[in-house]
Amino acid sequence: MTQPPPVEEVEQAEELVARVAAIDIAKASGMICLRLPHDSIKGKRVQRVWTVAATTNAILELGDHLRCQGVTRVVMEGTGSYWKPWFFLLEAQGIECWLVNARDVKNVPGRPKTDKLDAIWLAKLAERGMLRASFVPPKPIRQLRDLTRTRTVFTDERSRHKQRVEKILEDAQIKLSTVATDIFGVSGRAMMEAMIAGERNPKVLAETARAGMRKKREALVEALTGNFEDHHAHLIALMLKTIDHLTAQTEELSTAIERTLSDLPTPDGPGDGNGSGSGAGDAAGLIEHLDEIPGIGPATAQVVLAEVGLDMSVFPTPDHLVSWAKLCPRTIQSGNKNTTGRTGKGNSWLKRALGDAAMAAAKTDTFLGARYRRLVKRKGHAKALVAVARSMLVIIWHLINDPTARYTDLGADHHQRRTDPARKARDLVRQLEALGHQVTLATPALGTA
């Protein structure tokens, strides 16, 4: 008979949170459910449900009422950006606010769905401790996020306008992009400005080339021979103005990001890896430390800090941070079968920045580059990039958690140095024997090649 497993003592409480409120948020209002202990009957609870307008004065009045009722936690579901006024205003009044994932508070199938029932269900889950709070960074990090995300949006928009310019040139049979690597470089801009000004002679346009592009004047004459009209000139002029405007706005945002980073409050010391410390130190110095990681530049480091913050006590271990970013596969176990699921969406801004950094690191002769090349053979390009991004995030956690730590590359030959030569030889022999060969190993004599 199989020995039963040992009995575990598990702490269990009927009500983990005595005084709780939940908010089912809509655009113009919120449905509030307040659940409190009964005044006279022990074990009984009372609840009240009412609607509050999503205006500043109404939310502040709600906060005063909740504090008078002794509410210790307010839980709300993340609904678009409509949760922000409720969360920030109530948090400013000293109330503990939890933002929870909509997936975690999904109602039981088959039950009616109304705002009132959703608020009651959310309150019941909250008072029994069955929810997890989402990561909401402090105000300075939120402001840094706004800046970095806006810069990313402007950069994407500028890239789209550049693509539109190239399409207009192609419509005019101008093949400038086949000769110039960057049609928005000094030579490319000079040629486009000349065409906008009315110049149509390909030879004259080719003479406006600068520096190394002058060696390609003959190819430029062929590429600039087309049917460029005033219609194309008008459109390209508008596009170039927009591109220049977005470039100026992006540079202004970069300056604001650097200023915000220099003004960030410095946590009190390094963490111990168990969530007891915040770690991080000076933000500017931390940017330099992150810049040492292959594939990560100053702009990417700024995005990373804006998304994960400077306080690693929120993520007690690197695995917590990786799981939050959804850079690890989901474990699925059923009986004796163990499989892995999709990584999930996670923080799209962070995943994008790390994905770009992983692609850059994959081309380097470093440990991260070697990791990509080892995995891409059997996992494919996408999964190998995710694995490299995960390794980067683990490194980032350690650098933020301990401001005295510095990145040291293990080298592209790290895995080869850790390989057991005898085991490698046995594997190769086994592979050859599987192909029908007879293998005899002989140790070469000393002094022979």
380 torsion bin: left (phi>0), alpha (psi -120 to 50), beta (else) = left
Contacts of the segment 280-284: beta carbons below 8 A, 24+ positions apart: 280/310, 280/311, 280/312, 280/400, 280/401, 280/403, 281/403, 281/404, 282/403, 283/310
Say what the pLDDT of residue 168 is: 94
Q: What per-residue confidence (pLDDT) applies to 17?
A: 83
Secondary structure (H, E, C), 159-227: HHHHHHHHHHHHHCCCCHHHCCCCCCCHHHHHHHHHHHHCCCCHHHHHCCCCHHHHHHHHHHHHHCCCC
- Block residue for tokens 């977005």: 246
pLDDT along the chain (449 residues), means of 10: 66 69 92 90 88 94 94 88 93 92 73 86 89 90 95 96 94 90 90 91 89 87 90 94 96 95 70 43 84 94 94 92 88 75 83 95 93 92 93 95 90 81 86 87 67
Closest alpha carbon to 344 in 331, 328, 332, 326: 326
Long-range contacts of 184-189 (CB under 8 A, 24+ apart): 184/243, 185/213, 186/210, 186/211, 187/211, 187/213, 189/240
Q: Using CA atoms, how far apart are residues 120 and 32, in angstroms rounded to an integer?
A: 8
Domain ranges of the chain: 20-127, 143-260, 283-401
Enter the CATH code of domain 20-127: 3.30.420.10
Separation of alpha carbons 31 and 62, rounded Å: 12
Query: Under a CB-based contact definition with an 8 Å cutoff, are residues 72 and 96 in contact?
Result: yes
**pLDDT value of residue 345:** 82
pTM, 2 dp: 0.83
Output the pLDDT for position 292: 93
**From CA 102, how far away is CA 58, in angstroms rounded?**
25
- Reported as type and span, the H/E element at residue 302 is helix 298-308
pLDDT number for residue 45 = 87
Length of the chain: 449
Tell me if residue 48 falls in helix, strand or coil: strand
